[in-house]
Amino acid sequence: MHNSALAWSTPTPALVATGLGGIVLAAAAAAAPSDPAGRLLIGLAALGLFAVTALGLRQRPRLAVLDGGGGIAVAGIRGRREYDRADLARVRIVRYPRLGRRVPMLEIDVRPAGAADDKLMIFGRWDLGTDPTDVFDALVGQQLVPPDPTAAG
């Protein structure tokens, strides 16, 4: 179970917009019988929007703090995974260049007990429904951000 105050998901209005966009494009594809290539492309775009909507709905909440702050839960395509505090190898904000500016992304490296390799998960504003920096700050407040071994000290 997760603490609803500390759970982040793609915003519902955004998912409604992608679903409605898919419906509009599907109707446009059906209304273009004389242009098979256009109909195919519009139909593929509609399917893409439906897929984005379905994934957004399936992965709710995308990231959550477990009750008691003992770890996190991450929803993905294959379902929900929980990671204990000890599984969190690194949590940080990285700024990636996008459209001429640098946008923050939340990176979480996990290494579950017994796993041979780390797993890197990257969350942006779309995934979290808010600024990733705010989510990072909340994770710091829950003591879920391990010390950075590469930080100069």
Q: What is the model's pTM?
A: 0.82
pLDDT higher for 77 or 5?
A: 77
Q: How far is residue 89's CA from residue 76's CA, in Å, rounded to a whole number?
A: 19
- Overall average pLDDT of the 13-34 stretch: 93
Q: How far is residue 5's CA from residue 27's CA, in Å, rounded to a whole number?
A: 39
**pLDDT beyond 80 at 16:** yes
**pLDDT beyond 80 at 149:** no
Could you give the dihedral angle defined by the CA atoms of residues 60, 9, 56 and 62, in that order, rounded to the nearest 10 degrees?
A: -60
CATH architecture designation of domain 2-7+61-141:
Roll (2.30)
pLDDT of residue 57: 93
Q: In the structure, what pLDDT confidence band is assigned to residue 151 with cuts at 50, 70 and 90?
A: low
Structure tokens at 58: 């399936």
Contacts of 46 (CB under 8 A, 6+ apart): 22, 23, 25, 26, 28, 29
Q: How far is residue 20's CA from residue 144's CA, in Å, rounded to a whole number?
A: 37
pLDDT of residue 94: 95
**pLDDT beyond 90 at 117:** no
Structure tokens at 40: 């195919």
- Overall average pLDDT of the 8-14 stretch: 95
Q: Where are the chain's structural domains?
A: 2-7+61-141, 11-58
